Amino acid sequence: MEATSDIRPWDELIPDILGLIFVKLSLDERLNVIPRVCPSWNSAVKGPYSWREIDINHDWSSSYEPHQIECLVQMLIARSSGSLRKLNVYGLQTEKIFTFIVENAGGSLQNLGLPRCNLNDFIVEQITEKFSMISILDLSYCMKISISAIETIGKNCKHLEVFCRKMHPSDTPVEADENAEAFTIASTMPKLKHLEMSYNRINNDGVKKILSSCPNLEFLDLRGCWDVELDDMNVNENFPNLQILGPQVLGYYEMEDSLDSSDSELEYDLSDEEGIDELEFRVYEEEVIDGWN
């Protein structure tokens, strides 16, 4: 008589369990590999547990037209059914997609990254009012955000522990008020543990204000902040548990390295698999473009 096994086949796992496993996979695997394995996996990967985390980084976004990325974001947020915990998307451009995110992402969002997105102060106010419970926020390379928006973030997001406000050397406006963002961050975000301000307009006064106002700070990125002189502040002696990166920049400042969100785990190369373009566009056309137009 054949012995029975207590090991359950993967294709017989309940969809919720499969979804919790699939969410650990890359965006490409969830979109283009898992659905082709078997019908039960195809059904499970379209469920909300597979899309509690959505990470669309610079490499992916730069490979397609903005409207295609926005359609993809709409489809994946709809799949999450209000269970979204993390959303990181590079380069969104239209007010329509930001409104969609606010209205459909749900109230469970904890980690939000919108680097190089076409945000303005009004949109930032809408986003931070809706997602006031976020603890991680990345608004790096967003050029249209003013000091008023930074203040709004601090007032609305009381639990913020990680704030990324990196700039690229070519984007940093010379006429920007030195320390303006630093003083605003210091006065409104006292719970910060991690702050990235590379290539921002800041000097020693701004750094001192941040360090005195954010006692829990563990990491501070000051790369390219050339007016900062750390030797004058005895940082190592006064803040032994604080890790500071910069202000010197070691090696060539790579554009792609600077654009990736600091906590992004998505790795994707379009050259890895021949024909992947056609496969992805088929996903967009069948499930996104036709469904959202």
Identify whether 35 is part of a domain.
Answer: yes
**Is pLDDT at 289 greater than 50 in this prediction?**
no
Evaluate if residue 12 carries a pLDDT over 90: no
Mutual orientation of helices 121-130 and 95-104 as an angle, nearest 10°? 10
Q: How many domains does the chain have?
A: 1
Least confident of 30-39, 115-124, 255-264: 255-264
Q: Are strands 136-138 and 53-56 parallel, antiparallel or unpaired?
A: unpaired
Query: What pLDDT is attached to residue 15?
Result: 63
Q: Residue 145 sits in which domain range?
A: 10-292
Task: Return the SS3 of 253.
Answer: coil
Tokens encoding 157: 């997001």
Distance CA 151, CA 163 (A): 13
Q: How far apart are CA 198 and CA 224, in angstroms?
A: 6
* pLDDT for 222 beyond 50: yes
Residue at 1 is within a domain: no
pLDDT tens figures, 64-83: 899 999 999 999 999 999 88
Asked, for residue 65, whether it belongs to a domain, the answer is yes
As a three-state string, the secondary structure of 37-89 is CCHHHHHHCCCHHHHCEEEECHHHHCCCCHHHHHHHHHHHHHHHCCCCCEEEE
Using the structure block, give the residue that is written with the tokens 């969100």. Answer: 261
In a domain, 38, yes or no: yes
Amino acid identity of residue 42, one-letter, is N
CB-based contacts of 240, cutoff 8 Å, min separation 6: none
The number of beta carbons lying within 10 Å of the beta carbon of residue 146 is 14
* Mean model confidence pLDDT for the chain: 81
Nearest residue to 108 via CA among 162, 51, 155, 153:
51
The answer as to whether 4 is a domain residue is no
Read off the pLDDT of residues 161-185 as tens digits, 9 standing for 90 and up: 999 999 988 776 655 678 999 999 9
Which of 93-97, 213-217, 222-226, 285-289 is least confident? 285-289
Element (H, E) at 112: strand 111-113
pLDDT for 10 equals: 55
Q: Is the Cβ–Cβ distance between 52 and 83 less than 8 Å?
A: yes
- pLDDT (0 to 100) of residue 175: 57
Assigned domain for 3 exists: no
Q: How far apart are the first and last CA of the chain?
A: 58
Q: pLDDT by residue (tens digit) across 78-119?
A: 999 988 999 999 999 999 999 999 999 988 899 999 999 999
| CATH code of the domain covering residue 269 | 3.80.10.10
Out of 40-44, 51-55, 174-178, 278-282, pick the least confident. Answer: 278-282
Q: Does some domain include residue 5?
A: no
| Residue 66 resides in a domain | yes
The per-residue pLDDT for 84 is 93
State the pLDDT at residue 42: 81
Separation of alpha carbons 24 and 29, rounded Å: 10
176 is written with which tokens?
Answer: 């920007």
What's the pLDDT at 50? 83
